[in-house]
């Protein structure tokens, strides 16, 4: 009964977004309730929602079905999902990001989940990120600051283009040259620049006016995130 109620709540939220005049919604799976069903580290159920990967994805598909039922076929619906666990990348499961557990979702399982979701025909795009957010160390890996390289998860996100849906990705894409490369090299369809827009809310206007050199860059200090956790925003 609780699962049915929550599924209906997802649908009602999407309906409110449509009624409010929005063009689409993104179902946030990664690091939240839906994602917790996917991982055997958090899903210990023994009913139809636990055990096999297909069972663990059942809740996500029920949510997606309810959202589509409420908003119809002509409303944009995407899903943000985990591309790999904190310590994993496609070619090296032992990659040195902190905090991974042995029963985290593997890269292969994440790809299987994406394929199941794409095959429903009810999604318009994927938003792919990497890592988990349930501890401080894992959060630092999922949203890296100046200690790491620029756009470190592009190759992870690129693997999801094989399913025929546009792929959006945002992770330390802090300047337009990095965004251009990600799209022109065929790694992404859309480059998200969240912190870049916080650093300079006029980024798009300056670009359109030919003033790219005046864009204030994000340096990855993490100040925007830190303020959230100390109650200043």
Which token pair is 196?
Answer: 């870049």
> Active site includes 202?
no
CB 63 within 8 A of CB 7: yes
Angle between helices 2-19 and 53-71 (to 10 degrees): 40
Rounded Cα distance between 60 and 55, Å, is 10
Q: Residue written as tokens 């580290």?
A: 41
CA dihedral 183→188→189→194, nearest 10 degrees, is -90
CB 43 within 8 A of CB 51: no
Catalytic residue among 32, 107, 169, 197: 32
Alpha-carbon separation of residue 124 from 55, 56, 71, 212 (angstroms): 23, 22, 13, 31
CB 90 within 8 A of CB 166: no
First to last CA, the chain: 36
Catalytic residues: 32
């Amino acid at each position: 009964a609780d699962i049915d109620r929550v599924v209906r709540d997802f649908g009602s939220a999407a309906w409110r977004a449509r009624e409010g005049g929005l063009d689409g919604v993104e179902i946030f799976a990664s690091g939240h309730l839906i994602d917790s069903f996917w991982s055997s580290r958090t899903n210990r159920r023994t009913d139809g929602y636990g055990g096999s990967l297909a069972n663990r994805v059942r809740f996500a598909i029920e949510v997606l079905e309810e959202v589509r039922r409420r908003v119809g076929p002509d409303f944009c619906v995407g899903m943000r999902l985990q591309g790999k666990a904190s310590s994993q990348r496609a070619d090296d499961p032992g990659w040195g990001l902190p905090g991974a557990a042995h029963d985290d979702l593997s890269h292969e399982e994440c790809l299987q989940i994406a394929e199941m979701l794409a095959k429903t025909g009810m999604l318009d795009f994927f938003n792919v990120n990497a890592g988990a957010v349930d501890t401080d160390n894992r959060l630092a890996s999922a949203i890296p600051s100046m200690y790491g390289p620029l756009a470190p998860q592009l190759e992870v996100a690129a693997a999801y283009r094989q399913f025929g849906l546009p792929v959006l990705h945002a992770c330390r894409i802090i300047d337009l040259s990095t965004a251009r490369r990600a799209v022109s090299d065929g790694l992404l369809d859309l480059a998200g620049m969240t912190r870049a827009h916080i650093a300079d809310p006029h980024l798009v206007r300056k670009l359109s006016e030919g003033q790219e050199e005046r864009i204030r860059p994000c340096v990855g200090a993490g100040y925007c995130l830190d303020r959230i956790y100390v109650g200043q925003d």
